[in-house]
Amino acid sequence: MSSRPELKLDWCSHEAATYAVMKWHYSSAMPAGKLAKLGVWEDGKFVGVVLFGRGATPHLCKPYRLTQYECVELIRIAMTDHKTTVSRIVSIALRILSKQSPRLRLVVSFADPSQKHHGGVYQAGNWLCTGSSAGAKFFVIHGKLTHPRSLGSKGLPQNLAGARRIDRHAREVYMPGKYRYLMPLDADMRRQIEPLRKPYPKRAGSVDSGTPGDQPGRGGAIPTSALSIRQE
């Protein structure tokens, strides 16, 4: 029986995070804006990243009566081959984030059923599922699914005409809503959102299927000094 690896999580560079997302996340797209970037190492090998940020919508926090300083989105989990469960990695990342940002009260994440993700990682971590988000219009640009907001960040109209200024063959597609999961970071927040709880979507595979991008690949980014966490 193989021994459990020494797990390390620590803040990592933008370059390391970009490497992981481009190599190991199904989107191959690094989110824009300010990000909290936690690298993951096993036995000294860089195996992935967990990213937190403001998310794609400016209204992420509004339903919970929170400010943008009290609520963030878990935006990416990009992992190569690894031994530690993703649910454990996320749990540790949440502890580190909460310590670094004590004003945070809630983390939101989404599982995309169009990518066969149902949220098994969040279910294993006792997150609350609150149903699905509304479907949205996207564009396929050079074969890549693109959110209209990314057009706006480039100074382009957030419509098909704007998309076709990048790719004349761009097309519009409608994507179904994603499963929404919430992780409260204090007891009062949990009591507030508990009435929103809905039944978990049924599992399609293991408890670690359904992440926002757990993709196999190969390690390679240079690690920073890391917090060492020996698995029990």
- Residues 65, 26: one domain? yes
- Residues 166, 73: one domain? no
Q: Is residue 214 part of a domain?
A: yes
pLDDT in the model for residue 176: 78
- Residues 23, 53: one domain? yes
- Residues 140, 40: one domain? no
**Higher local confidence (pLDDT), 209 or 148:** 148
3-class DSSP state for residue 221? coil
Segments forming the whole domain that contains residue 145 = 136-175
- Residues 89, 171: one domain? no
Q: Is residue 226 part of a domain?
A: yes
- Residues 115, 221: one domain? yes
For residue range 65-102, list pLDDT tens digits in order.
Answer: 999 899 999 999 999 999 999 999 999 999 999 999 99
Sheet strands side by side (includes 179-184): 128-132, 179-184, 106-111, 71-79, 45-53, 35-42, 6-11, 227-230
Number of domains within the chain: 2
Indicate the pLDDT class of residue 221, thresholds 50, 70 and 90.
Answer: very low
Q: Is residue 1 part of a domain?
A: no
205-230 per-residue burial string, b: 16 or more CB within 10 A, e: under 16: eeebbbbbbbbebebebebeebeebe
